[in-house]
Structure 1
């Protein structure tokens, strides 16, 4: 019997993938790492059909040929999109071939007959839509912050006044903006709205933004769901001026992390959230308020976990290995 074989889709220099590959190897599993960006440059796909259906599905790389139908599992970690071949110099042709490659590769991973973690791309992309997440969370019984998504300055001013200025903004999707001309990247996370920001409210008409009531925090929680297992870590973000509004600014030296015991009903809602979204994995962000309420903020269908594991000892990586090898 052949050993289990997991295909990991990710970019170079991914510590999460490297760590899990070592754990899978200890269990006797084989792993292959592939980045979609290598397609046409260092790798090729071969799909063949007879008059009656699929005949073969092969991935040719510099290290050999992989029969994609032999895979035990596919882990969609963090691959980059395919690019045009570097020998193409015409920008319009390059854009066209890159789009054609995206269409093929996206369709290829969508239909493999194996377990896919966190989910097939079409599923977890849809699961990442924050407006839909808020509706589902409320439907499942989570408390959510009062929220406004609009492009009208008057709506922002009204929301700001109703909450005495205690509001935050966050991006709809991408948390960064690349300024190619200046050669740097601007990071955009959850931020308090200042009086100066309100003065520029007219710019809201150019792009949608999420505006929410600021939720007071005793703790922030990162709840990682792997299959049917729930791992909750408490992040004492209020001990750091840098991380108190958004722990993702990371001030780990002064921000304690501990295992958190979720109430059963909150853990059940986290499981229901991933199940309803079609995810085998998900990282939920919650707030525990000073008066003991659990408030849902969002779920990341492909969120990081390694730092949580290192600081708390929660066996998230082992649970992921179990999930990827289940039934193998």
Structure 2
């Protein structure tokens, strides 16, 4: 059994899963996009009447098409520019690396179990398609406008002024103010009429405008194949988390295990199947009236924080089982023992060793999405 992991360095989820796989004698290797073109040596050969063949070489390690039973598409990073390369050369090289690695992913694991399939992943990144699929599978969804048209946005705000409108981005933004050393993030925000006065500001960046939904509490549902793990988040107990449960960095909300009503679990699984996803983290609101409202799915969402906050969630062990067995259901026997946990991983020193390995074996990388303010 061998798993190929696609991502970039210093990702604690990658190192935790590799540690878990190692505990059950399952082999894994990583392909970091950032290793192109400096570290990784990769080839794809087509023609001559033979099936396409891909090859990946990382130092002394060599892998070819068919070497992997499972592919975990954790993240898609950026190639890292070689020192001294001119701007003009890097413009071409970066584009070619991106095209090359996208083809390579498919050719290395053509018969493998994908988490998630690249085509499904791309669909799931589009929020309108998520809401459309959720509604088709029985979920209530908030009225939502995706727009940079000031007239449309103001009309939408007027329509839902009484209950309120929230604004959010497709991808959460965060940035670092170098002078003060502070870090900031833009979470879901309740709109005010004053926010909509400047046409230029509104039209400069498309955003998501959504009817505000009253909350009793929220749910984070981690879906792995046919198994769902639901965590209750009591976001309404604090002012700082009422609009966005992620917003209080100082005191993360404790996740509490909860059993989903059968019809809600069926909707989650039907939604995942419709989207073609084998893994995803679904965010739901439970209203004061008991209605379950779909907000979004993160097709490769963070899940270790749930187990860290509540060790009763065996999420690391369950995910390792899905990669090893290539399937998971509520009745599946999980690989390993109870010692195969996130807490044990952190105590093992594997995280520190993994970061050191990333620094020594792989190209330096800065995660996408972090803006820098002078």
> TM-score, normalised to structure 1's length?
0.90
- In structure 2, how many angstroms separate the alpha carbons of the residues matched to 1:115 and 1:224? 22
The equivalences for 1:93-108 within 5 A come to 93-108=89-104
Which shows bigger deviation, 154-163 or 216-225? 154-163
Q: SS of the counterpart of 2:231? A: strand
The equivalences for 1:68-83 within 5 A come to 68-83=65-80
What corresponds to 2:226 in structure 1?
Answer: 228
1:122 equivalent to 2:116? Answer no
Which shows bigger deviation, 151-160 or 317-326? 151-160
The equivalences for 1:286-297 within 5 A come to 286-297=284-295
- State the Cα distance separating 1:85 from its structure 2 match: 3.1
- State the Cα distance separating 1:238 from its structure 2 match: 1.3
Q: Alignment length, in residue pairs?
A: 323
Shift in CA distance, 47/152, structure 1 to aligned 2, threshold 3 Å: closer
Shift in CA distance, 221/160, structure 1 to aligned 2, threshold 3 Å: same
Shift in CA distance, 201/258, structure 1 to aligned 2, threshold 3 Å: farther
What corresponds to 1:147 in structure 2?
Answer: 144
Find 2:192's aligned residue among 173, 191, 194.
194
Higher RCO structure, 1 or 2 (CA under 8 Å, sep 6+): 2
The answer for unaligned runs of 5 or more in structure 1 is: none
- State the Cα distance separating 1:300 from its structure 2 match: 0.7
CA contact (8 A) 1:152 1:202 kept: no
1:58 equivalent to 2:71? Answer no
Shift in CA distance, 244/115, structure 1 to aligned 2, threshold 3 Å: farther
- State the Cα distance separating 1:132 from its structure 2 match: 1.0
Shift in CA distance, 188/117, structure 1 to aligned 2, threshold 3 Å: farther
1:43 equivalent to 2:40? Answer yes
- In structure 2, how many angstroms separate the alpha carbons of the residues matched to 1:71 and 1:152? 47
- State the Cα distance separating 1:9 from its structure 2 match: 1.5
Shift in CA distance, 310/117, structure 1 to aligned 2, threshold 3 Å: farther
1:11 equivalent to 2:8? Answer yes
- In structure 2, how many angstroms separate the alpha carbons of the residues matched to 1:297 and 1:254? 20
- In structure 1, how many angstroms separate the alpha carbons of the residues matched to 2:50 and 2:177? 45
CA contact (8 A) 2:165 2:212 kept: yes
Shift in CA distance, 250/305, structure 1 to aligned 2, threshold 3 Å: farther
- In structure 1, how many angstroms separate the alpha carbons of the residues matched to 2:200 and 2:147? 12
> TM-score, normalised to structure 2's length?
0.80
CA contact (8 A) 2:69 2:113 kept: no
- In structure 1, how many angstroms separate the alpha carbons of the residues matched to 2:187 and 2:306? 19
- In structure 1, how many angstroms separate the alpha carbons of the residues matched to 2:270 and 2:227? 12
The answer for unaligned runs of 5 or more in structure 2 is: 328-374
What corresponds to 2:19 in structure 1?
Answer: 22
- State the Cα distance separating 1:86 from its structure 2 match: 2.9
What corresponds to 1:314 in structure 2?
Answer: 313
- State the Cα distance separating 1:66 from its structure 2 match: 2.0
What corresponds to 2:85 in structure 1?
Answer: 88
What corresponds to 1:216 in structure 2?
Answer: 214
What corresponds to 2:365 in structure 1?
Answer: none
CA contact (8 A) 2:280 2:300 kept: yes
- In structure 2, how many angstroms separate the alpha carbons of the residues matched to 1:184 and 1:84? 27
- State the Cα distance separating 1:143 from its structure 2 match: 0.3
Shift in CA distance, 322/254, structure 1 to aligned 2, threshold 3 Å: closer
CA contact (8 A) 2:165 2:211 kept: yes
